[in-house]
């Protein structure tokens, strides 16, 4: 994922910094030089990097960080806060209309940036997270099969999203007006207009977008930019914003192996906030962009809030509530452990989950595959136990371990590993029990 290499490198830098017995101006300068190199290698704009380093140093000196009890941690916090500001701190969400009329969102961008796919993903997000009724408007009459693509993507949403199109030969500004009428009559909350892209920015494209804005009262104009294009994404954003007012960005392909410099530079250089991030191929792989949480991820602090939100949206609420209550009452057993593991598996790829958990080390693809195999093996082992054994794991001694191993096609050593994992999870659950905020989040309050 973007920022992975940057995050790993910054993690090593800060680990070395925290290991210093005394923090001096020299080793802080050395650390900032390494941070600067890491940011430049991540393709962050040169001027942005220089300003960032200067602001970090000024604040560190201004707060007399060198006299603090934990100076290394204090410097890391300053870097985190400045990085959050760089990414565009604050609420970057869409403002929906409250007057009964549909909120109109116009999607713009060059071809190949994932604009049409992002339009459908955005509709899926609004339907599921915001509980809005969405209509997709197909305005790309130039690209072969563009209308069919948008329609099919709408059908893949859960629940399915309707698409409006006009095959009579009307031009996009006229189709936009027709789509708005359809959205108003059908009492849709949101109308998303998928406009045509071009291989390059041209006068005809810009004029068409201006004409659409004249025909329809557009509330939000979102530009999709490809994170793989690096700093060129900033140039595209500046050009579009000069011609038509851009209210927000959708940064696509942030799940790729790009350096991520575009995301760290673009808000500072354009003033346009990143509102959404594309993080995968599936319809639900579009996220609200939270600068504070992204800063957490980059600096290896995880993103436990996003993880909890993912859990709330994808797990069985009744089962989760039952497990949470049993946990609070100190009744967490192997059945609950298996249920929790199955629920976590619903959230998404294990690698994505691991990155959200604070303090978790980076893992290879082979390790992830082994982890998936271990999850399946754990399920088989627990299912080979009796009801009493699941409720009272402490009763599982040598003879029972051998029987369970034979019944699950595993070894007593692997049964031991499952029991050890249970003990660790039970300990973690006791720790979570003492964190009221986290418990309330887990229980959806």
User: Where are the extended beta strands (E) located within 180-219?
Assistant: 190-194
Instruction: For residues 165 and 241, state if they share a domain.
Output: yes
Q: Are 426 and 332 in contact (CB under 8 A)?
A: yes
pLDDT exceeds 50 at position 441: no
Band of pLDDT at residue 416, cut at 50, 70 and 90:
very high
Provide the pLDDT for residue 327: 64
Q: Are 257 and 267 in contact (CB under 8 A)?
A: no
pLDDT exceeds 60 at position 184: yes
What's phi and psi for 377, nearest 5 deg? -65, -40
Task: Give the mean model confidence (pLDDT) for residues 217-233.
Answer: 90
Q: Strands 134-138, 248-252: parallel, antiparallel or unpaired by DSSP?
A: unpaired
Q: Per residue in 380-408, pLDDT tens?
A: 999 999 999 999 999 999 999 999 999 99
The highest-confidence range among 178-192, 196-210, 266-280, 406-420, by mean pLDDT, is: 178-192
User: Where are the extended beta strands (E) located within 78-161?
Assistant: 103-108, 134-138
Instruction: For residues 169 and 295, state if they share a domain.
Output: yes
Separation of CA 159 from chain center? 21
Provide the pLDDT for residue 247: 95
Residue 98 lies in a domain: no
Residue 228 DSSP code: G
- Residues in Cβ contact with 38 at an 8 Å cutoff, skipping those fewer than 6 apart: 6, 9, 10, 13
User: Where are the extended beta strands (E) located within 219-319?
Assistant: 220-226, 248-252, 274-278, 286-288
User: Measured between alpha carbons, how far is 114 from 1 in angstroms, rounded to an integer?
Assistant: 17
Task: Give the mean model confidence (pLDDT) for residues 2-27.
Answer: 75
Residue 221 DSSP code: E
Task: Give the mean model confidence (pLDDT) for residues 231-257.
Answer: 89
pLDDT exceeds 90 at position 276: yes
Instruction: For residues 370 and 425, state if they share a domain.
Output: yes
Instruction: For residues 39 and 177, state if they share a domain.
Output: no
The highest-confidence range among 34-43, 243-252, 419-428, by mean pLDDT, is: 243-252
Instruction: For residues 297 and 312, state if they share a domain.
Output: no
Question: What residues does 248 pair with on adjacent strands?
Answer: 222
Instruction: For residues 276 and 339, state if they share a domain.
Output: no
Q: Quick one: the chain helix, strand, coil %, rounded to 5?
A: 60, 10, 30
Helix (H, G, I), strand (E, B) or coil at 33: helix
Structure tokens at 60: 């560190």
- Residues in Cβ contact with 326 at an 8 Å cutoff, skipping those fewer than 6 apart: 332, 333, 336
pLDDT exceeds 80 at position 143: yes
pLDDT exceeds 60 at position 27: yes
Half-sphere exposure of 260 (CA within 13 A, CB side): 24
Look up tokens 């870097």; give the residue. 79
Q: Per residue in 311-324, pLDDT tens?
A: 556 656 666 666 66
CATH number reported for the structural domain that contains residue 159 in this entry: 3.40.50.300
Provide the pLDDT for residue 136: 98
Higher pLDDT, 331 or 279: 279
Task: Give the mean model confidence (pLDDT) for residues 267-291.
Answer: 91
CATH number reported for the structural domain that contains residue 409 in this entry: 1.10.260.30
Provide the pLDDT for residue 309: 59
pLDDT exceeds 80 at position 294: yes
Helix (H, G, I), strand (E, B) or coil at 256: coil
Instruction: For residues 185 and 315, state if they share a domain.
Output: no
Instruction: For residues 120 and 158, state if they share a domain.
Output: yes
Provide the pLDDT for residue 29: 86
Provide the pLDDT for residue 15: 77
Residue 336 lies in a domain: yes
For the chain, first and last CA: distance in Å?
31
Instruction: For residues 286 and 145, state if they share a domain.
Output: yes
Q: Are 411 and 289 in contact (CB under 8 A)?
A: no
Structure tokens at 267: 């808000």
Single residue among 301, 327, 355 that ends a domain in this structure: 301
CATH number reported for the structural domain that contains residue 66 in this entry: 1.20.120.140
Instruction: For residues 173 and 243, state if they share a domain.
Output: yes
User: Measured between alpha carbons, how far is 54 from 37 in angstroms, rounded to an integer?
Assistant: 14
What's phi and psi for 372, nearest 5 deg? -65, -40
pLDDT exceeds 70 at position 115: yes
Provide the pLDDT for residue 437: 46
Half-sphere exposure of 435 (CA within 13 A, CB side): 12
Instruction: For residues 11 and 61, state if they share a domain.
Output: yes
Instruction: For residues 332 and 435, state if they share a domain.
Output: yes
Q: What is the dihedral of CA 438, 440, 441, 444, to 10 degrees?
A: 160
Single residue among 267, 301, 335 that ends a domain in this structure: 301
Band of pLDDT at residue 69, cut at 50, 70 and 90:
very low
Higher pLDDT, 318 or 421: 421
Higher pLDDT, 200 or 276: 276
Provide the pLDDT for residue 68: 43
User: Measured between alpha carbons, how far is 292 from 274 in angstroms, rounded to an integer?
Assistant: 12
pLDDT exceeds 60 at position 305: no
Single residue among 268, 301, 334 that ends a domain in this structure: 301
Range of the domain at 11: 4-87
Residue 257 lies in a domain: yes
Provide the pLDDT for residue 445: 47
Band of pLDDT at residue 361, cut at 50, 70 and 90:
low
The mean of the pLDDT values for the chain is 83
Residue 92 lies in a domain: no
Q: Are 308 and 300 in contact (CB under 8 A)?
A: no
Cα 133–Cα 278–Cα 138 angle in degrees, nearest 5: 45
Band of pLDDT at residue 303, cut at 50, 70 and 90:
very low
Provide the pLDDT for residue 317: 61
Question: What residues does 164 pair with on adjacent strands?
Answer: 137
Task: Give the mean model confidence (pLDDT) for residues 269-293.
Answer: 90
Domain count, the chain: 3
Residue 40 lies in a domain: yes
Residue 95 lies in a domain: no
């Amino acid at each position: 994922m973007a920022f992975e290499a940057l995050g790993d490198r910054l993690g090593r830098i800060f680990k070395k910094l925290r290991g210093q017995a005394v923090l001096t101006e020299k080793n802080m300068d050395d650390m900032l030089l390494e941070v600067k190199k890491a940011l430049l290698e991540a393709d962050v704009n040169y001027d942005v990097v220089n300003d960032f380093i200067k602001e970090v140093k000024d604040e560190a000196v201004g707060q007399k960080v060198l006299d603090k009890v934990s100076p290394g941690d204090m410097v890391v916090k300053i870097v985190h806060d400045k990085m959050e500001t760089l990414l565009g701190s604050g609420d970057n969400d869409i403002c929906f209309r409250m007057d009964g009329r549909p909120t109109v969102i116009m999607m713009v961008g060059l071809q190949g940036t994932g604009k049409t796919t992002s339009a459908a993903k955005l509709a899926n997000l609004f339907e599921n997270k915001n509980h809005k009724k969405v209509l997709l408007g197909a305005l790309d009459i130039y690209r072969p099969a563009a209308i069919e693509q948008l329609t099919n993507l709408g059908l893949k949403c859960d629940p399915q999203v309707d698409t409006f199109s006009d095959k009579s030969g009307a031009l996009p500004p006229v189709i936009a007006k027709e789509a708005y009428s359809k959205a108003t009559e059908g009492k849709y909350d949101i109308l998303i207009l998928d406009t045509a892209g071009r291989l390059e920015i041209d006068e005809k494209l810009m004029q068409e977008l201006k004409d659409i804005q004249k025909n329809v009262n557009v509330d939000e104009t979102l530009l999709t930019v490809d994170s793989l294009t690096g700093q060129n994404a900033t140039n595209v954003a500046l050009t579009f914003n000069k011609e038509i007012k851009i209210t927000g960005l959708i940064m696509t392909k942030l799940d790729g192996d790009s350096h991520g410099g575009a995301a760290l530079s673009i808000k500072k250089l354009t003033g346009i906030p990143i509102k959404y991030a594309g993080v995968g191929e599936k319809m639900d792989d579009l996220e609200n962009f939270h600068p504070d949480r992204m800063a957490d991820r980059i600096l290896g602090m995880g993103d436990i809030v996003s993880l909890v939100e993912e859990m709330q949206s994808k797990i069985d609420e009744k089962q989760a509530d039952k497990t949470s209550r049993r946990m609070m009452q100190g009744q967490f057993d192997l059945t609950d452990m298996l249920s929790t593991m199955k629920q976590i598996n619903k959230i998404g790829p294990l690698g994505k989950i691991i990155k959200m958990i604070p303090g978790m080390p980076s893992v290879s693809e082979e390790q992830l595959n082994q982890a998936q195999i271990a999850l399946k093996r754990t399920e088989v082992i627990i299912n080979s136990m009796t009801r009493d054994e699941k409720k009272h794991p402490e009763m599982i001694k040598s003879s029972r371990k051998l029987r369970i191993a034979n019944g699950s096609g595993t070894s007593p050593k692997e049964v031991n590993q499952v029991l050890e994992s249970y003990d660790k999870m039970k300990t973690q659950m006791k720790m979570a029990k003492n964190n009221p905020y986290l418990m309330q989040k887990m229980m959806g309050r």
